Copies of this chain bind each other. A is one copy, B any other.
Amino acid sequence: MSRLSRAAPFFLSLVAALALADKQSPANIILFIGDGMDEHQITMARNYLYGADGSLFMEQMPLRSSARVQTLREDNPQQFRYVADSANTASTLATGQLTSIGRIATSAATDQDQSTILEAAQKAGLRTGLVSTASLTDATPAAFATHTAHRNCQSPTDMTKAIGYAAATQQCLADQHSRGGKGSIAEQLLTANIDVLLGGGKRYFAQSSKGTDLQKTAASHGYTLLSRRRELLETNPNRKLLGLFSPSHLPVEWIGTDNRRAEPIALNWLGEPHFPEPFSCVENPDHRETPTLKEMTSAALTQLSADNSKGFFLMVEGASIDKQAHRRNPCGEIGELHAFDQAVRAGRQFTKAHPNTLLIVTADHGQAGQIVPLPEYFLGWGDNQYPPGYYAVLKTRTGESMAVSYATNAPPNGQSELHTGVNVPVYLEGTDGANVPQLMDQRQINRLMLDHLGLQLSAD
């Protein structure tokens, strides 16, 4: 008797259980986006946190796929670029359509609004939520509920600023109210009637009421304004929540001992490399009064699921995995990936009590960090060999040594590490996997979510 036929009775009872669940509970989506969280960044965090035999909570989800990251050229939308940004990739996850770098749910070159799954969910009467460790006006949350030519059009004062490095077709002018546009991202978010908005970006929202009383602005749109961790933890779930816990992005959870990051290898006058000493990660004292991503996620899930017979769509972003990788800050990056994974853990716990929930964990694009050999390796080969970018040796929680390198933009001029073009992982829970090929793309992730909710986008 084969393994498969032995499994059949269990399989059939699972079928029955799921068929029952289908009728009892509303369909929900929780989409977790780890910004810049490719498999290399995940391995780095896993090694640091749990060692070579460990696994993250997201890696314990039942199903894995991998997504191509696809980006059109603004100057020729018939062709692709092979490195993306968070704006165009979050737009594709939100809209199921491709676009160009910098765009927020608008089409490459032609600047047409692309309708989003959050908007479709609202129309169907589902509740919606956006949670991020970034400013809520940042590209990833923005792409699910707003439409602008460029991610920089965050607040009213941004609308008249020229964006030097962006194409003429991607300036904020076209989105100005005076030209018939929908205005800045902050303004569009406030009027989008989203049930839960939790993250950073107070300074962008304050502007939208001429800079004076954010409390009144929020109230005028029906929101209870939260600005402190304690307020979040004690909030009444039966209210529309606007939580703005920082002027811009939230402080990160971890930093390196003595604030250390990766650094260029120092060379002496003979050209011999001097490798930096190992360090560990510690809690960032600046984060103390800030809610964790897990706390924001749990609050959002409580609000969205309370007395809700119609289901919800929730997007949760771990934004600073990417932002800390840009800064060559491995402890910042690992701490944020850990925080993200804890939020995923809360999401997984929620699905146990709400089995008609599709939980997807993915990333928008790759990042620069790589795990490379230790100093002893380079010194063993001799001939003054060393990694050419920014390098750190971490003393991991398991007491071992792991070296990481960021080397996409040369010291000393390289201002920031760069995104890479690698595929990103997709972890899934709450699907039988029948419509999940092992290689997919970000449009298919959008389609999978729509199918789970039984929705279509208005452009379809």
Contacts and interface: CB of A to CB of B under 8 A. Distances in A.
A410 B385 contact: yes
B372 A83 contact: yes
Nearest to A414: B385
A371 B2 contact: no
Interface string A66-87: 1010110000000111110000
A415 B70 contact: no
A66 B411 CA distance: 33
A12 B7 contact: no
19 contacts: A2-B15, A2-B18, A8-B11, A39-B423, A43-B421, A43-B422, A44-B421, A52-B82, A59-B439, A61-B438, A63-B438, A64-B438, A83-B371, A265-B410, A372-B408, A373-B418, A388-B408, A388-B410, A407-B407
Nearest to A370: B420
A95 interface: no
Copies in the complex: 2
Interface string A127-140: 00000000000000
Contacts of A456: none
Interface in A412-460: 413-415, 418-423, 425, 427, 432, 434, 438-439, 441
B434 A3 contact: yes
Contacts of A438: 59, 61-64, 427
A324 B370 CA distance: 19
A432 B64 contact: no
Contacts of A380: 165
A446 to B, nearest CB: 15
A5 B13 CA distance: 10
A373 B15 CA distance: 47
Contacts of A383: 413, 415
B8 A15 contact: yes
Contacts of A421: 43-44, 47, 370-372, 402
Interface residues of A, number: 92
A1 interface: yes
Interface in A252-285: 265, 271
A14 interface: yes
Contacts of A52: 68, 70-71, 80, 82
A43 B439 CA distance: 11
A420 B51 contact: no
A388 B389 contact: yes
A372 B420 contact: yes
A384 interface: yes
A413 B432 contact: no
A53 interface: yes
Interface in A1-55: 1-5, 7-8, 11-12, 14-16, 18-19, 22, 38-40, 42-44, 46-47, 51-53, 55
A11 B7 CA distance: 11
A341 to B, nearest CB: 13
A213 interface: no
Contacts of A387: 407-410
B366 A40 contact: yes
A321 interface: no
Given A82-B403, A370-B420, A378-B409, 13 more contacts: A8-B15, A40-B40, A43-B422, A52-B68, A52-B71, A61-B438, A83-B371, A83-B372, A372-B418, A383-B415, A386-B410, A388-B388, A388-B411
A398 to B, nearest CB: 8
A369 to B, nearest CB: 10
A350 to B, nearest CB: 20
Contacts of A11: 8, 11
Interface in A301-323: none
A374 interface: yes
A42 B421 CA distance: 11
